[in-house]
Structure 1
């Protein structure tokens, strides 16, 4: 497999006091049999100016790169949402690609959605009419026939508004006309759904219809049912108080009761910011300096007061007019956001809370209600960016393989690098025990962005995709 080659774009140069880079969220991986030979193939997305690659599986379980001239034509797109699904009911898998990178503005071509139609033999061509010309940093795509007409429709999750961190991006629900041409469904809950990082369609209520489960940064996990041709939020799920920096989401029946449970990967308890419900971290969003663009301002709660997270130098660089107050560093450190900007400046400001950093299992207790429990301590030492549910030991229960790490925080925050890839073994009842890396055989030091289980040859393999590194392939014994 080719190495992922991250570009050198640095968001911090263009967005002041951004808490983490959003330009380095790939590669993501899609799997499916694209050429009809019964073997699972792989698409691995590239970074900006690096074309994604299609790898066809051979009979011995190895993979061979498939030449696709079309992919090179779109190398300027940084694909962070990749999905194989049959859009036109012709029996083969087409390829949806959604771009991010946080380096082009909304409306520009390089972050528009794309659909590549499959000729049935693994050759792809662009369907230019597939989507309206929507363009936004996105993170995930999930297909489901929500309207019951026999073809797969599509949810696309908005990750962020380029250059305006904290302003909530639009997400999209697309209705398929049966021929792979999608029209946008006008559903108000999608206008500012959140900074989405994970989404999945699954039946959490037991009514034999799938709901949409969504997680993201600065939000609690949310569940939506299909109603009146759009989406309606379900309340009382037991998840509404967990305002996290959610990085990943997976679904599986973890305790064998026939109900779909959730695994939610968060930023972890080893993070520089350690909020609680009583002492939240907040992201305030408003045009504080009156230049026509919304600004984000990060605070932490200390003694009931919202104090700035970033140092005086960084904040006065973002808001030079604060320099006229000639604040000493010691005085600045004691000022709340209300005192820095004045109460009038906060009127109309959005306030996004972060109260819960732990990664969790959410067991479905029926009718769309969940009981949450944290993953073992080893699962809290870093972020969890990717989750794979697979029965590792053959006992009939699904275990968890997770990958994490985030290196791209400002120096003040340090970095999250304590994950080597983790295996959590299920006791059959939805309780998990960490297996040491020396026993699991997993040892991945980079920023893991995706983990995919592949049926290859006579066995099962795991592909672990890392930012700016080559993917790692593990054989499961």
Structure 2
């Protein structure tokens, strides 16, 4: 099973998607030998990747009408034709999505026309490559949102891979043509019945204004308002089982991670929430339901949570949790951009079940006993400016 589940446009290494690429040597520190660096930035001319995610404000599309306009888009990487080389799908906002065929040796070819992306109106957010029908071919699920009030321009897309780089759009057939302002999807077998279910991450309807503080808290806690959805795969059709699974919640979403945190063989879920709403940490009860254990297992969380990631950072065999925020990395910027220190609101959020939230990245180390130790300050990663998503990998192959 292969997941390409990155929320924000994160390509860290092998090619450039900038309009004007620098040579790799120009990225190195002045006076440094480029041989010290483990990655090289390849220019557009070398890779033939010429994607740039532009955001153009208009009378209809601007921050006042659509407060999520600068949230960015997504990217997915996967081998669509089973030739051992991975293709790239870039999501666009004010520009068209692009699909690039990997021709080897870091050479790519724009094959967006096989999906009809030039005719895809609307605003793409997250992308996922996943074999949704278990036929051995990766399919592509595209989350959609944006300022448009036309439902068809916000409907999520599912491109079913028929082989030989031929695709058929089948979101409605599978019950996944949602228009709920989606941010990202996560496909996983929550009940271990052999097929993939799906958690759909959404943000509130643009322009949503919470009621007074106490009323909003009560509506969130009681499930009277919700953003996200959970769909169980029943005979190839995705059925809404959000409430039955105990996953009804509300928040301004930016990231989701799925993995077996407590090593019981079942996938668990962590969800990042921006603004006042807390993150959610769902443990799989192994009976098609989940329980949010964030208060019991995690002492404090990030406030403006962006992306998150599960990774075993200390090689103890247990998955840890990293969540990024937007705390400035130097003293001047931290004071210039510091949010108001409203202790009354902080205490009210904590007292009403919205947890202890601090504006910094968090690194929750799994203690293996149902508790976590937060060590971002100790690890030196607490303040990295406005960070959209973490990604862990062994860059120097040292284990």
Does the pair score TM above 0.5?
yes
When the two structures are aligned, how many residues end up with a matched partner?
A: 322
Which has the larger share of strand?
1
Structure 2 residue 394 is the aligned partner of structure 1 residue 386: no
Change (3 A) 1:57 1:229: same
**Displacement of 1:281:** 6.3
State the match for 2:291 in structure 1.
Answer: 232
Once the two structures are superposed, the pairs formed by residues 346-361 of structure 1 within 5 Å of their partners are: 355-361=357-363
Change (3 A) 1:282 1:352: farther
SS in 1 for 2:301: coil
Query: What are the ranges of 5 or more consecutive residues in structure 2 without an aligned counterpart?
Result: 1-48, 211-215, 217-224, 329-333
Report if the CA contact (8 A) 2:142-2:157 is conserved. Answer: yes
Report if the CA contact (8 A) 2:54-2:93 is conserved. Answer: yes
Change (3 A) 1:355 1:224: closer
Q: Write the distance in 2 (CA, Å) between the matches of 1:258 and 1:372.
A: 18
Deviation per CA, 1:270-302, whole angstroms, max 9, x where unpaired? 372436684546999xxxxxxxxxxxxxxxxxx
Once the two structures are superposed, the pairs formed by residues 164-179 of structure 1 within 5 Å of their partners are: 164=208, 166=210, 169-179=226-236
Change (3 A) 1:273 1:238: farther
State the match for 2:339 in structure 1.
Answer: 274
**Displacement of 1:367:** 3.7
State the match for 1:124 in structure 2.
Answer: 167
Report if the CA contact (8 A) 1:199-1:213 is conserved. Answer: yes
SS in 2 for 1:109: helix
Change (3 A) 1:238 1:272: farther
**Displacement of 1:265:** 0.5
State the match for 1:305 in structure 2.
Answer: none
Change (3 A) 1:275 1:255: farther
Report if the CA contact (8 A) 2:90-2:98 is conserved. Answer: yes
1:3 to 43, 47, 52: 52
Report if the CA contact (8 A) 2:257-2:270 is conserved. Answer: yes
Report if the CA contact (8 A) 1:68-1:123 is conserved. Answer: no
Q: Write the distance in 2 (CA, Å) between the matches of 1:200 and 1:52.
A: 24
Deviation per CA, 1:41-74, whole angstroms, max 9, x where unpaired? 11110114x3211111122122221142533365
2:156 to 113, 130, 133: 113
TM-score normalised over the length of structure 1: 0.61
Once the two structures are superposed, the pairs formed by residues 249-288 of structure 1 within 5 Å of their partners are: 249-269=308-328, 270=334, 272-274=337-339, 278=343, 280=345
Q: Write the distance in 1 (CA, Å) between the matches of 2:361 and 2:185.
A: 22
State the match for 2:80 in structure 1.
Answer: 34
Change (3 A) 1:156 1:57: same
Report if the CA contact (8 A) 2:301-2:355 is conserved. Answer: no
Report if the CA contact (8 A) 2:73-2:125 is conserved. Answer: yes
**Displacement of 1:225:** 2.7
**Displacement of 1:22:** 0.6
State the match for 1:13 in structure 2.
Answer: 64
* Structure ranking higher on relative contact order (CA contacts 8 Å, 6+ apart): 1
State the match for 1:300 in structure 2.
Answer: none
Q: Which has the larger radius of gyration?
A: 1
Query: What are the ranges of 5 or more consecutive residues in structure 1 without an aligned counterpart?
Result: 16-20, 285-349, 397-477
SS in 1 for 2:116: helix
